[in-house]
């Protein structure tokens, strides 16, 4: 501990001086992406919504005739008791529309609990009792692909082009050069701040920090002038909220666990201890250790633990989904007395903006789900109904239902879905959806390798903890993480 405390601490600018090459990788590819990101703004999303008519049945008919007879087995995580009513309604509309479009293809479906589905799929595949098709959270599929249990399946097999989907989404279904699924829906987050707390700290209440360096400064100014915490840092080990909020910062500075942020990642190049990664970790240390502008409880916090101080006016900024606004509204409604007065004022002052940029890029974790097809050798009965699979994929991953099905919580995977009347209705009903949606071009999926969960949920948070508690220097913590990742990749 003493050695770590007394070791010289590198300034972020010194760390980044060695990262110029990192920030400049793939310059041509990044210029093209930047042009797309520049157009894909909240205003642009609003302007294109409702500008295209979609005839799903006609599009499906081009792939599989509508009078086709067949049978499909399908597992997915669908609505439960906690699901908003609007999504229960759209679920019912989805199946009614499917039955009308393909009346002769029966679907034997299982709506599974999120916390049970992965293990149930593992067991079923090992016992040759898997369904023909499953919709899985974005990175579950790689485990089954690595075991040879999935069949190669790409958008072109359902009548679409891979270019119809975000590059980040296509990365998430690509393993060792083979595409093994089609994105069904995608989601990203945004920066949320309390405009009233910004104003009290002498900051422009309508403008978020443009860069991560600025976020550190804003957080300190909020702490110094108001006594409130500036930024909701999350660093809990084995909690998905941690990498979802820290990796965007790491990528922005030019770092990464591996090379997942590059245009064509190999997932073999370890970047957790490069100059960019160290600069990002140093920024977190500066907030937590030097400035005390992040909650002391960050070491054990998930995003849920940020919600109470935020609604109480005790936290200035955090990263979250558009659904956070609904959560805050609900908390304000349940508050009483003076707490309600404070909560109502916080809700009135909630603002959403783009997650800050860094020296290398603006980045956010690319989330969502993908449709996967199991190999006949592990399917119950050993038979795959090709036409039924292609028909269902065309119907469910196209412009209409990739956007309508998860009405309040996600976005279309198929980019034409943003032009539909349904997207226009969603934008009118879900406040700030256009802001989080505008982060999609900046989305980066976690490394598409079987070891990704261990890296993101254990190695990265442990690295943060080692530095935030000053058990290790930033350099030592990142080197320790690099050794652990190397061991995972080599099977140790």
The CATH architecture assigned to 53-187+366-444 reads 3-Layer(aba) Sandwich (3.40)
Binning pLDDT at 50, 70 and 90, where does residue 115 land? confident
- pLDDT computed for residue 81 by the predictor: 85
* Percent of residues, the chain, with pLDDT higher than 70: 92
pLDDT exceeds 50 at position 28: no
Fold of 2-24+189-364+451-489: D-Maltodextrin-Binding Protein; domain 2 (3.40.190)
pTM of this prediction? Answer: 0.85
- pLDDT, mean of residues 299-309: 92
pLDDT tens digits, one per residue of 379-412 = 999 999 999 999 999 999 999 999 999 898 899 9
Binning pLDDT at 50, 70 and 90, where does residue 492 land? low
- pLDDT computed for residue 424 by the predictor: 96
Q: For residue 228, how far is the Cα from the chain centroid?
A: 28
**Domain segments of the chain as ranges:** 2-24+189-364+451-489, 53-187+366-444
pLDDT tens digits, one per residue of 36-47 = 345 888 899 999
Range with the lowest mean pLDDT among 22-31, 182-191, 355-364, 479-488? Answer: 22-31
Binning pLDDT at 50, 70 and 90, where does residue 61 land? very high
If one compares 14 and 283, the residue with the highest pLDDT of the two is 283
- Do 2-24+189-364+451-489 and 53-187+366-444 agree at the fold level? yes
- pLDDT, mean of residues 231-244: 92
pLDDT exceeds 60 at position 30: no
- pLDDT computed for residue 19 by the predictor: 41
pLDDT exceeds 70 at position 315: yes
């Amino acid at each position: 501990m003493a050695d770590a405390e007394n070791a010289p601490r590198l300034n972020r600018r010194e760390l980044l001086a060695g990262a110029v090459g990192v920030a400049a990788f793939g310059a041509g590819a990044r210029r093209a992406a930047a042009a797309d990101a520049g157009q894909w703004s909240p205003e642009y999303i609003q302007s294109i919504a409702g500008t295209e008519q979609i005839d799903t049945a006609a599009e499906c008919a081009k792939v599989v005739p509508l009078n086709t007879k067949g049978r499909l087995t399908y597992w997915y995580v669908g609505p439960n008791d906690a699901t908003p009513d609007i999504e229960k309604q759209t679920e019912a509309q989805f199946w009614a529309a499917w039955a009308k479009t393909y009346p002769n293809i029966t679907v034997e479906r299982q709506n599974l609990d999120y916390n049970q589905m992965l293990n149930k799929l593992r067991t079923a595949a090992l016992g040759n009792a898997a369904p023909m098709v499953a919709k899985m959270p974005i990175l579950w599929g790689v485990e089954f692909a690595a075991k040879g249990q999935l069949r190669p399946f790409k958008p072109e097999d359902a009548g679409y082009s891979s270019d119809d989907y975000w590059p980040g989404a296509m990365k998430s279904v690509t393993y060792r050069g083979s595409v093994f699924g089609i994105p069904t829906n995608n989601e990203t987050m945004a920066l949320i701040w309390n405009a009233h707390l910004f104003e009290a700290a002498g900051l422009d209440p309508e403008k978020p920090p443009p860069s991560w360096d600025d976020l550190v400064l804003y957080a300190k100014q909020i702490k110094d002038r108001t006594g409130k915490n500036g930024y909701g840092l999350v660093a809990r080990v084995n909690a998905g909220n941690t990498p979802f909020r820290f990796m965007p910062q790491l990528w922005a500075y030019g770092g990464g666990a591996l090379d997942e942020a590059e245009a064509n990642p190999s997932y073999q190049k370890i970047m957790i201890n490069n100059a960019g990664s160290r600069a990002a970790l140093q920024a977190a240390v500066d907030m937590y250790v030097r400035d005390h502008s992040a909650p002391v409880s960050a070491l054990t916090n998930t995003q849920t633990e940020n919600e109470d101080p935020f609604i109480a006016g005790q936290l200035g900024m955090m990263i979250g989904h558009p659904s956070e606004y609904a959560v805050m509204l609900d908390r304000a409604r349940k508050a009483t007395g003076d707490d309600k007065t404070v909560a109502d004022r916080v809700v009135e002052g909630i603002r959403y903006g783009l997650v800050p940029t860094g020296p290398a890029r603006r980045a956010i974790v690319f989330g969502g789900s993908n449709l996967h097809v199991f190999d006949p050798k592990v399917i119950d009965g050993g038979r795959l109904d090709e036409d039924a699979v292609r028909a269902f994929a065309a119907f469910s991953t196209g412009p209409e239902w990739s956007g309508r099905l998860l009405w309040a919580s996600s976005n279309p995977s198929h980019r034409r879905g943003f032009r539909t009347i349904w997207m226009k209705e969603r934008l009118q009903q879900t406040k700030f959806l256009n802001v989080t949606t505008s982060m999609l071009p900046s989305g980066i999926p976690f490394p598409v390798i079987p070891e990704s969960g261990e890296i993101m949920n254990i190695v990265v948070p442990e690295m943060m903890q080692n530095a935030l508690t000053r058990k290790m220097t930033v350099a030592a913590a990142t080197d320790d993480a690099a050794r652990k990742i190397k061991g995972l990749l080599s099977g140790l």
